[in-house]
Amino acid sequence: MSTKNDILSNIRRHTGQTYDMPVIEPAAIQYPDAVARFAEVIKSVGGSAIELQEGEDINERIISLYPEAATIASNLPGIRIATINPDEVETPHQLNGTALAVVQGEVGVAENGCVWIPQNVKEKAVYFIAEYLIILLDKNKIVSNMHEAYRKIRFNDNGFGVFISGPSKTADIEQALVVGAHGAKGVVVLLTT
């Protein structure tokens, strides 16, 4: 407690001239076709965005994208092909070896390909440990920029959320880009309506 008071009083003692908070309303970029821009940016960061056609079965689409995925983790009601329900694992460690995870995104951002995923499974590990990741996203929930996104994002009781923009990557060896550092080696955003 005394350390806290020492730090705060040292801050107060040293604070001289103060500055006002600016009004944060930049003339932020708006894309005429935010969905198209989102798909373009996702591609540039190593992922892809695919629109689900009307009447198309989502499970069949996923199988056609990842025909070899032996273990599929999902707690989403429409995903019949799931082999593991991440809500039913005892420990997150049991998710190791997951080939594909299918998860729900809530907000897409056209300027940077980010998708907001509030943790809506028991163990957040599923977002990162799967070899490949499919994010379902309602294409009407794509906004142009991060200012809009931060006004829209919500948490649930799990208290964790993440913006994911494409697959995991590293360039730590001679700046050579390698996709699939620790998280997903590939990310597909399936756009629904």
Partner 1 sequence: MNAKHSEAAARFIQNRALEEWHNETLFLVRKKRDSQAITLPEWEQLRQLASQIKMHTITHLDKYLEQFALRAEANGAIVHWAKDAREHNEIIHALLRERQVGKLVKSKSMLTEECHLNPYLISKGIEVVESDLGERILQLMNKPPSHIVMPAIHIKRQEVGKLFEEKLHTEKGNSHPDYLAHAARLHLRNEFLTAAAALTGANFGVAATGDVVVCTNEGNADMGTSFPKLHIVSMGIEKVTPDYQALSVFIRLLARSATGQPATAYTSHYRKPRKGCEMHIILVDNGRSDIIGNPDHIQALKCIRCAACMNTCPVYRRSGGYSYTYFIPGPIGINLGMLKSPGEYAGNVSACSLCYSCNNVCPAQIDLADQIYKWRQQLDSLGKADRTKKLISGGLKYIFTRPGLYNTALRLAPIINKSPRFLIYNNLDAWGKGRELPAFAKESFTQMWKKGKIKQHP
For partner 1, the closer CB: 124 or 139: 124
- DSSP labels for 60-87? HHHHHH-TT---EE---TT-TT-SB-TT
Tell me which amino acid residue 128 is.
Answer: F
Interaction with partner 1 in 9-68: which residues (CB under 8 A)?
10-22, 24, 26-29, 41, 44-45
User: Which residue among 36, 87, 140, 181 contacts partner 1 (CB under 8 A)?
Assistant: 181
Look-up of token digits 């829209």: 152
The span from the CA of 59 to the CA of 36, in Å, is 24
Contacts of 25 (CB under 8 A, 6+ apart): none
CB 125 within 8 A of CB 88: no
Instruction: Report, in Å, the least distance between residue 84 CB and partner 1.
Output: 15
Q: With respect to partner 1, which residue has the nearer C-beta, 35 or 146?
A: 146
Q: Which stretch binds partner 1 (CB under 8 A): 51-59, 62-70, 75-83, 104-112?
A: 104-112
**Residues whose CB falls within 8 Å of the CB of residue 133, separated by 6 or more in sequence, listed in order:** 100, 101, 103, 127, 164, 167, 183, 184, 186, 187, 188
Query: Cβ closer to partner 1: 80 or 152?
Result: 152
Which of 54, 88, 90, 174 contacts partner 1 by CB under 8 A?
174
Q: Does the protein bind partner 1 through residue 115 (CB under 8 A)? A: no
Residues 129-168 that bind partner 1 (CB under 8 A): 129, 145-147, 149-151, 153, 155, 158-168
CB nearer to partner 1: give 80 or 93.
Answer: 93
Binding mask 61-100 for partner 1 (x = CB under 8 A): ------------------------------xxx--x----
Q: Which helix (H) or strand (E) holds 149?
A: helix 146-152
